[in-house]
Amino acid sequence: MTGTTVGARAPRLTLRRRRQLAGALFALPAVALVAGLIAVPIGQAIYYSFTQWDGLTSTWIGPSTWTQAFHNPNLWTALENNAWLLLAVPFALGLPLLIAMLLHQRVIGWKIFRSIYFLPTAISWVVLGLVAERFFAFQGTLNSLLHFFGLTHVNTNMLGYESTALSALGITFVFTMIGTNTMLFLTGLATLDTSLEEAARIDGAGRWRIFRHITLPHLSRFIQLAFVMTVIALFSALFSLIFVMTGGGPGYATTTMEFLIYQTGFAQGDFGTAALYGLILFVLTAIVGIVQLRLIGSDE
């Protein structure tokens, strides 16, 4: 009796172990790739942030590199620019929400409109940056529009001045996010049970009340996801736009954290400080990332 149990158990155990072994081997390449090219560099960045480093030789300096970095006005300018750009986030969420609501009304040809609205999503931000530069240029579309509406004496050159360049960048950012966020919200609206809205309407609820009490709560998870994606893009995807539109200028007017890292490392050759700035960016995105992980986690 006991003999048969043991006999039956032994091969099953090996089967389980074989399965685990297969699992570990299947996961290994991905783990190695992520460890080698993402995890290890984080560790290196921590080490190098305490050194003077030009990419070839590094000399240990210690924590004073950090105090020194925090005394650098450029760092604060970059952080400040990032903070100002956060003002674009409500627009990058609100406009797509509005557009998604419009599309959801399903007027004639809404599918064609949907494709058109999403189309800029496919284009590189390098190209969109080039186009935005044309829009804001002295002889660009913005001034033509202003002239068309009778403001013939107004001539803007938003990218040319420290006071307005960041706003121009923010406006471009909002435009580039519209497609993705509209897509997210429209998907959310599609999962909304229309009978619920219908019932509320029959009960005499106005449009605003239906939106406020039924549509918006239903979309909350999609709005959260869009918020996280938008903020992360704001911190780490503006590089292409800045590179083609302003090069970080005029002065440091459009230098964000990610661009400061690039400039410090590759224009000034100060790899140590750039690595340190990278860690600051890492912490900033990690804060947003924790929100995102909780989002994913609460779903399981």
Partner 1 sequence: MSLDTPPVAPEVPADRRARARRVGRGALFLVMIGVAVVMLYPFWVMIVDSLKSENQFLSGHGFSWASWRTLTSTIPIAQEVVSSTIICAVSILLILLVGLPAGFAFAKLRFRASGVIFLAIVSAMMVPLQAILMPEFVNITRLGLTGGYTGAVLVYAALGTPFSVFLFATYFRGVPDELIEAGIVDGLGYVGALWRLVVPIAIPAIATVTVLQFIQIWDDLLVGLLFIQNTSERPITVGLAVLAAGRTTSIPALMAGSLVSALPAMIVYLIFQRYLVKGLTMGIDR
- Using CB under 8 A, which residues numbered 170 to 199 contact partner 1? 175, 178-180, 183-184, 187-188, 191
Contact 214, 196 (CB under 8 A): yes
Q: Which is nearer to partner 1, 166 or 234 (CB)?
A: 234
Who's near 137: CB < 8 A, 6+ residues apart? 157, 159
Q: Which of residues 66-125 bind partner 1 (CB under 8 A)?
A: 99, 102-103, 105, 107-108, 110, 113, 115-125
CA–CA dist 70, 192 (Å, integer): 48
Least distance (Å) between residue 3 CB and partner 1: 25
* H helix or E strand, kind and range, residue 180: helix 162-190
45-53 contact pairs (CB < 8 A, 24+): 45/275, 45/276, 45/278, 45/279, 45/282, 46/279, 48/271, 48/272, 48/275, 48/276, 49/272, 49/275, 49/276, 49/279, 50/272, 51/272, 52/272, 53/270, 53/271, 53/272, 53/275
**Is the CB of 2 or the CB of 95 nearer to partner 1?**
95
Nearest-approach distance from CB 88 to partner 1, in angstroms: 16
In the complex, minimum distance from the CB of residue 244 to partner 1, in angstroms, rounded to a whole number:
5
Compute how many residues bind partner 1; rule: CB under 8 A.
Answer: 98
Shortest approach of partner 1 to residue 67 CB, angstroms? Answer: 20
C-beta separation of 227 from 96 below 8 A:
no
Kindly identify the residues of this chain, within the stretch 275-294, that bind partner 1 according to CB under 8 A: 275, 278-279, 281-282, 285-286, 288-289, 292-293
Encoded tokens for 90: 């409500």
Nearer to partner 1, 161 or 249 (CB): 249
Residues 10-69 that bind partner 1 (CB under 8 A): 18-24, 26-27, 29-31, 33-34, 36-42, 44-45, 48, 53, 55
Min CB(260)–partner 1 separation in Å: 9
Contact status: 133 vs partner 1 (CB under 8 A): yes
User: Cβ closer to partner 1: 91 or 282?
Assistant: 282
Site string for partner 1, 194-223 (x = CB under 8 A): ---------------------------xx-
The least CB distance from residue 125 to partner 1, in Å, is 7
CA atoms of 41 and 48, how far apart (whole Å): 10
Q: In the complex, what is the shortest distance from the CB of residue 1 to partner 1, in angstroms, rounded to a whole number?
A: 27
Under DSSP, is residue 297 helix (H, G, I), strand (E, B) or coil? helix
The Cβ of residue 176 has, within 10 Å, a number of other Cβ atoms equal to: 22
Residue nearer to partner 1 on the CB measure, 103 or 158:
103
Residue 255 corresponds to which tokens in the numbers above? 């230098």
Q: Give residues 229-248 in contact with partner 1 (rule: CB under 8 A).
A: 232, 235-236, 239-240, 243-244, 247
Query: How many whole angstroms separate alpha carbon 285 and alpha carbon 29?
Result: 26
What's the token pair of residue 230?
């938008």
Distance in Å, CB of 266 to partner 1, minimum: 7
Residue 150: φ, ψ to 5° = 95, -5
Among 70, 76, 148, 266, binds partner 1 (CB under 8 A): 266
Query: In the chain, what are the helix, strand and coil shares in percent, each to the nearest 5?
Result: 80, 0, 20
* Residue closer to partner 1, measured from CB, 6 or 56: 56
